[in-house]
């Protein structure tokens, strides 16, 4: 017996499968259609009936449900497995489309994008090289060109990524490479200017990129947390004066901070960066939706002078996770991400046959989802102006809800917003700061446990507060009045209980 036939025999299954193979192929097209219809029907039923963001099930209840599932036993078949997933996951999922959900930057998703998700998952395209999908690569590149043009870049380029975290990492990586190619600076000499309100991924990226713990310099802000351009100018001058070996990698500003939703002054900061030939990164993971806004686009004025921009389509473009992009103003800058491998994108082939590099040469990922299809179908289905108007409605709503809270003597409002967050806490006249602060996590936990509403919490200027993050254009002012009423009733109940105990 030859070695080969021995091995072949060893690979053959020793007992027949419970059902025919479940691979999606020509032979299973009918089953595929039936299975997906079943799943679509059950999820549609959930959407018809779900009223609250949470099921209210506790962590220990859910953990014991999960622990009871046998992952090593015989298969139960696709339909039963999906029915089980519906019971486990869909029944207990957190729903972002209901008005009671106002916690984090999660959005309800647009129909054409969800349908496109099924399409791209079934075909399972990977957009790493042209030969793996010419059409998908061309579509993704057209969309990146569209995004660059929306920003105001001429000759820009970009790459779809898994999220804002990855987009920010890649932006700082490209900036670091450029800074190091221009100078003989050591890693320890590199500096990044940002504010204390920038997303934590900026700080973590600096760490991942080998920068020193002193690399990140927090520039002073105005009372709302927006970077102060004069303070940036001063900090840059201090750096050159005091430590002449230090090299500035980038100024990383935020268009829509995660907590307050405020936008750093892009135009004046872009001028300072241009004067000093410094890479300006704009993290517009949250505020990127304003690119299409019919009334608020001017809040992003100056973004066209950035070197790189992060946009999360899975936030303010109402796309299913994941869908994000890093866009750069100078296409050449992306080449710092390229790396040649003989089995994928050999250097000689790139030069000989195709003047345009593969997407893998612009990405930190190799195998990569064709997320671009979702945004593509969205723009085609709704039109870009309609998408921009959706985020605009959410920002309008935040303004009205903030007014409602300001006019309510039982609540105290913190700060303002440029986008769609509202910071507040229950603090009627006579309730001291300390008691109001202690109530914040208690209210949030009670609401979470009831499953009826979800709000976030944070700390601004040392004050603990609750946070509404609005990303649902269908939520109304009345819906949010109901959420606020729930907060009020919960807070009063908690105070009454404390009064009894005292």
Ligand X SMILES: *Cc1c(COP(=O)(O)O)cnc(C)c1O
Residue from 165, 316, 377, 469 binding ligand X (CB under 6 A) = 165
**Of 112-120, 161-169, 171-179, 240-248, which segment contacts ligand X by CB under 6 A?**
161-169
Question: Does 176 contact ligand X by CB under 6 A?
Answer: no
Whichever of 166 and 345 has its CB closer to ligand X, that residue is 166
First to last CA, the chain: 86
Which of residues 168 and 195 has its CB atom nearest to ligand X in the complex? 168
Bond from prior residue into 240 cis (ω within 30 degrees of 0): no
Bridge partners of 468, per DSSP, are 422
Distance separating alpha carbons of residues 390 and 396, to the nearest angstrom: 10
Cβ contact 17:76 at 8 Å = no
Tell whether residue 105 is a contact of ligand X (CB under 6 A). Answer: yes
- Segment contacting ligand X by CB under 6 A, of 41-49, 122-130, 283-291, 428-436: 283-291
414-444 burial code (b ≥16 CB/10 A, e <16) = bbbbbbbbbbbbbbeeebeeeebbebbebbb
- Tokens 């025919």, residue? 20
Strand partners, 459: 464
Q: Which part of the chain contacts ligand X (CB under 6 A), choosing from 19-27, 74-82, 158-166, 385-393?
A: 158-166
- Pick one of 117, 140, 283, 392: the residue that binds ligand X (CB under 6 A): 283
**Least distance from C-beta 253 to ligand X, angstroms?**
10
Only segment of 121-129, 252-260, 272-280, 410-418 that touches ligand X (CB under 6 A)? 252-260
Does position 170 interact with ligand X (CB under 6 A)? The reply is no
Cα dihedral value 338, 343, 348, 353, nearest 10: -90
**Does residue 289 touch ligand X according to CB under 6 A?**
no
Q: Which is nearer to ligand X, 90 or 197 (CB)?
A: 197
Closer residue to ligand X (CB): 165 or 195: 165
Pick the closer one to ligand X by CB: 278 or 285.
285
Q: Is 99 in the site for ligand X (CB under 6 A)?
A: no
Answer for the pair 470, 401: CB distance below 8 angstroms, yes or no.
Answer: yes
Check: CB of residue 327 under 8 Å from CB of residue 308: yes
Residues in 184-223 at the binding interface with ligand X, rule: CB under 6 A: 199, 201
Dump the DSSP string for 45-105. HHHHH--SS-----HHHHHHHHHT--SSS----HHHHHHHHIIIIIHHPPPSSSTTEESSS
Chain residues 317-356 in contact with ligand X, contact rule CB under 6 A? 324
Under rule CB under 6 A, residue 270 binds ligand X: no
**Measuring CA to CA, which residue among 496, 493, 485 is closest to residue 452?**
485
The residue range among 89-97, 213-221, 253-261, 420-428 that interacts with ligand X, by the rule CB under 6 A, is 253-261
Residue 247: CB minimum distance to ligand X, A: 24
């Amino acid at each position: 017996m030859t070695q080969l036939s021995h091995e072949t025999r060893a690979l053959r299954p020793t007992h027949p499968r419970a059902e025919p193979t479940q691979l999606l192929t020509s032979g299973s097209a009918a089953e595929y259609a039936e299975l997906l219809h079943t799943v679509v029907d059950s999820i549609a039923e959930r959407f018809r009936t779900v009223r609250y963001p949470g099921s209210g099930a506790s962590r220990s209840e859910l953990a014991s449900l999960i622990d009871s599932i046998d992952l090593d036993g015989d298969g139960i078949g696709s339909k039963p497995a999906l029915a089980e997933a519906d019971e486990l996951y869909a029944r207990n999922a957190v729903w972002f489309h209901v008005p009671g959900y106002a916690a984090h930057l999660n959005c309800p998703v647009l129909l054409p994008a969800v349908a496109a998700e099924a399409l791209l998952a079934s075909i399972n395209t990977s957009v790493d090289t042209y030969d793996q999908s010419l059409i998908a690569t061309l579509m993704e590149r057209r969309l990146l060109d569209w995004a660059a043009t929306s920003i105001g870049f001429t000759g820009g380029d970009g790459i779809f990524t898994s999220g804002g975290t990855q987009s920010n990492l890649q932006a700082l990586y490209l900036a670091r490479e450029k800074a190091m190619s221009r100078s003989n600076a050591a890693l320890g000499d590199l500096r990044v200017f940002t504010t204390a309100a920038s997303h934590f991924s900026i700080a973590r990226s600096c760490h991942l990129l080998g920068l020193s713990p002193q690399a990140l310099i927090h520039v002073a802000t105005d009372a709302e947390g927006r970077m102060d351009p004069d303070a940036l100018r001063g900090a840059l001058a201090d750096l050159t004066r005091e430590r002449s070996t230090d090299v500035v990698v980038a100024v990383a500003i935020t268009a829509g901070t995660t907590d307050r939703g405020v936008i750093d002054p892009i135009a004046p900061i872009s001028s300072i960066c241009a004067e000093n030939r410094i890479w300006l990164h704009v993290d517009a993971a949250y505020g990127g939706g304003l690119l299409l806004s019919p009334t608020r686009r001017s809040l992003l004025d100056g973004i066209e002078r950035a070197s790189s921009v992060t946009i999360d389509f899975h936030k303010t473009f109402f796309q299913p996770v994941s869908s994000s992009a890093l866009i750069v103003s100078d296409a050449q800058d992306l080449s710092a991400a390229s790396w040649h491998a003989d089995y994928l994108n050999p250097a000689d082939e790139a030069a000989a046959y195709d003047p345009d590099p593969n997407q893998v040469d612009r990405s930190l990922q190799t195998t990569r989802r064709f997320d671009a299809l979702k945004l593509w179908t969205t723009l085609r289905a709704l039109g870009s102006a309609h998408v921009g108007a959706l985020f605009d409605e959410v920002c309008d709503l935040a303004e009205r809800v903030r007014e409602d809270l300001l006019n309510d003597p039982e609540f105290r409002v913190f700060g303002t917003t440029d986008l769609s967050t509202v910071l507040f806490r229950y603090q009627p006249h006579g309730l001291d700061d300390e008691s109001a602060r202690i109530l914040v996590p208690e209210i949030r936990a009670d609401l979470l446990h009831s499953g009826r509403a979800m709000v976030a919490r944070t700390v601004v200027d040392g004050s603990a507060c609750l946070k509404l993050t609005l990303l649902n254009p269908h939520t109304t002012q009345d819906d949010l009045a109901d959420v606020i009423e729930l907060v009020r009733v919960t807070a009063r109940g908690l105070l009454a209980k404390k009064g009894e105990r005292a």
